[in-house]
Structure 1
Amino acid sequence: MDYQQPSRLQAAILDWAGTVVDFGSFAPTQIFVEAFAEFGVQVSLEEARGPMGMGKWDHIRTLCNIPEIAERYRAVCGRTPTDADVSAIYERFMPLQIEKIAEHSALIPGALDAIASLRDKGLKVGTCSGYPAVVMARVVELARENGYVPDHVVATDEVPNGRPHPAQSLANVIALGINDVAACVKVDNTWPGILEGRSAGMWTVALTCSGNALGLTYQQFKNLPQDKLEAARGRISQMFEGARPHYLIDTITDLPAVIDAINARLARGEMPQSN
């Protein structure tokens, strides 16, 4: 049997915070600040946003590896943070995250219409996140109450390696019954999430304005002067350069047009790994 390249997309693998819910991706970042504060260590919101997209334990470990944060921890605790210290911060992070996730659970404006358009185009909807399963359960429950029910969900602790490894996206491929990774598009607002999709052999779409990179509320985004918005887009595009997304768009509302563009490229015989 000869290999047949896909001619149309079959699935979209969507991130959660900053992609479909929680415009500005505030739920995870603010809780990192609060969790470190409970150990007497100051971490700024900007610092907390840096590794966004990773699994939460890995995110905390990465923050603790930053020399300035490690020194602040040493000044308070008498040592630079070990893996045991990271686990202690993580254990405090978890209940805070579950407790406050509802405060940032609103769907991104236009997300439901965009996802309905994807389904009209014949796509299944898989999802993954840097959240562990215990947090994802609450996120999924709140999303369902707001009308969003994806076909599959994969939490970061349900695979051997979280982002930027491809395991979560590939778990969606298997669960959704997709026959070729090139028939999938990964949509995310973080560089680890885009690397995840790239490593999985998928098309990738980076969101520049609804997530962690811009870090504004929806209203702040809408009120941003055009010159500042253009400057922000340029800065964020540079942040994503190393991850090599195929497309950059402001928010998920722009996704249906990108799906059409990818389908046209697939029909011409183009593949994601050749771009």
Structure 2
Amino acid sequence: MSSQEVPQLKAVILDWAGTTIDFGSCAPASVFVEIFRQRGVDITAAQAREPMGRAKRDHIAAVAAMPEVDALWRAIHDGASITNDQIEAMYNDFLPLQKKTLGNHSQMIEGVCETIHWCREQGLKIGSTTGYTRELLQIVAAAAAEQGYVPDCALGVEDAPAGRPAPYLIYQAALQMEVFPLWRIVKVDDTVVGIEAGRNAGCWTVGVTRTGNGVGLSEAEWDGLGKPEQTEKIDAAAASLKQAGAHRIVESVADLVPVLIDFNDRLAAGELP
């Protein structure tokens, strides 16, 4: 058996935006900003990104509940905070706006397909989960397939009773892929709630920094930064993901192979996540 083989592991479950596609997770962030702007509330990109990884309706509610956003909302709504009906209306507006933007934000992140190919050679199954609805997921999954990425399962928000940080989407992916126990699975995600979901499920977890929501920049924006600024942003993203419980941190899924080999070796030595 080659030292590069990973027989102890059985599957890798990957997020979508910011992890496998859409460098910087730009598509959802821009739409969250827009739906609040349409209602006279200007939120920052950082506020839009903070709950990233949650189901989109939950995400809207989380942004609206932020003290600064709530104050802005109340200032133009006679002192009243946002209602459930207003959140539902924003969610209904979110879906068509997000659908329009996905076509421009479904490019595979460099190096991801090569990593997936290596995983397939090792016999690992590939699952995927997202906070997107099934309708939105179909768009990005079709675009990814054209670029050579087809996971064994692709699950969206309707496929579990609750989204991240609950572990149910991971449970469902494990069921569909017929993989157990869950400590033979690696969950890879660029969001805090995604890492929390992986830990809650009992998986190994890997946080993604440079290409993900924590840094939150397009590839062109990232390339325009100086080295000190890049390092600062990666360190900040890594700190958040480590605090959420990530076992390891990578800048990109392109860097995942050595981490999988390490997890395999730790399992072979009797260590569990």
**TM-score of the aligned structures, taking structure 1 as reference length:** 0.93
Within 5 A, what are the aligned runs for 1:36-47? 36-47=36-47
In structure 2, give the amino acid aligned to 1:44. Answer: T
Equivalent residue, structure 2, for 1:20: 20
Cα deviation code 1:57-77 (max 9, x no counterpart):
010000010111112112223
Whole-angstrom CA distance in 1 between matches of 2:152 and 2:233: 33
Q: Is the alpha carbon distance of 1:222 and 1:258 closer, same or farther for their aligned partners in structure 2, counting shifts above 3 Å?
A: farther
Is residue 155–residue 169 contact of structure 2 (8 Å, CA) maintained in 1? yes
Q: Aligned pair 1:136/2:145, yes or no?
A: no
Is residue 15–residue 189 contact of structure 2 (8 Å, CA) maintained in 1? yes
Equivalent residue, structure 2, for 1:66: 66
In structure 2, give the amino acid aligned to 1:243. Answer: A
Superposed displacement of residue 49, structure 1: 0.5
Q: Aligned pair 1:97/2:98, yes or no?
A: yes
Q: SS of the counterpart of 1:77?
A: coil
Equivalent residue, structure 1, for 2:3: none
In structure 2, give the amino acid aligned to 1:107. Answer: M
Superposed displacement of residue 270, structure 1: 0.7
Unaligned ranges ≥5, structure 2? 1-5
Superposed displacement of residue 233, structure 1: 2.5
Equivalent residue, structure 1, for 2:160: 159
Whole-angstrom CA distance in 1 between matches of 2:268 and 2:225: 38
Superposed displacement of residue 266, structure 1: 0.8
Superposed displacement of residue 224, structure 1: 3.5
Whole-angstrom CA distance in 2 between matches of 1:193 and 1:264: 24
Equivalent residue, structure 2, for 1:3: none
Unaligned ranges ≥5, structure 1? 1-5
Between 140-149 and 59-68, report the one with greater CA deviation: 140-149
Is residue 167–residue 198 contact of structure 2 (8 Å, CA) maintained in 1? yes
Between 118-127 and 192-201, report the one with greater CA deviation: 118-127
Q: What CA RMSD, in Å, does the superposition of the two structures yield over aligned residues?
A: 1.4
Superposed displacement of residue 240, structure 1: 1.9
In structure 1, give the amino acid aligned to 2:204. Answer: W
Q: SS of the counterpart of 1:206?
A: strand
Is residue 7–residue 266 contact of structure 1 (8 Å, CA) maintained in 2? no
Whole-angstrom CA distance in 1 between matches of 2:42 and 2:229: 29
Between 169-178 and 135-144, report the one with greater CA deviation: 135-144
Equivalent residue, structure 1, for 2:51: 51
Cα deviation code 1:179-234 (max 9, x no counterpart):
21011000000000000000000000000111111011223334543332222222
Superposed displacement of residue 123, structure 1: 0.6
Whole-angstrom CA distance in 2 between matches of 1:177 and 1:98: 31
Is residue 55–residue 130 contact of structure 1 (8 Å, CA) maintained in 2? yes
Q: Is the alpha carbon distance of 1:60 and 1:51 closer, same or farther for their aligned partners in structure 2, counting shifts above 3 Å?
A: same
Equivalent residue, structure 2, for 1:201: 202
Is residue 19–residue 253 contact of structure 2 (8 Å, CA) maintained in 1? yes
Q: SS of the counterpart of 1:119?
A: helix
Q: SS of the counterpart of 1:134?
A: helix
Equivalent residue, structure 2, for 1:169: 170
Is residue 7–residue 269 contact of structure 1 (8 Å, CA) maintained in 2? no
In structure 1, give the amino acid aligned to 2:66. Answer: I
Superposed displacement of residue 245, structure 1: 0.5
Whole-angstrom CA distance in 2 between matches of 1:116 and 1:219: 26
Whole-angstrom CA distance in 2 between matches of 1:44 and 1:53: 17
Whole-angstrom CA distance in 2 between matches of 1:45 and 1:26: 10
In structure 2, give the amino acid aligned to 1:39. Answer: R
Aligned residue-pair number = 267
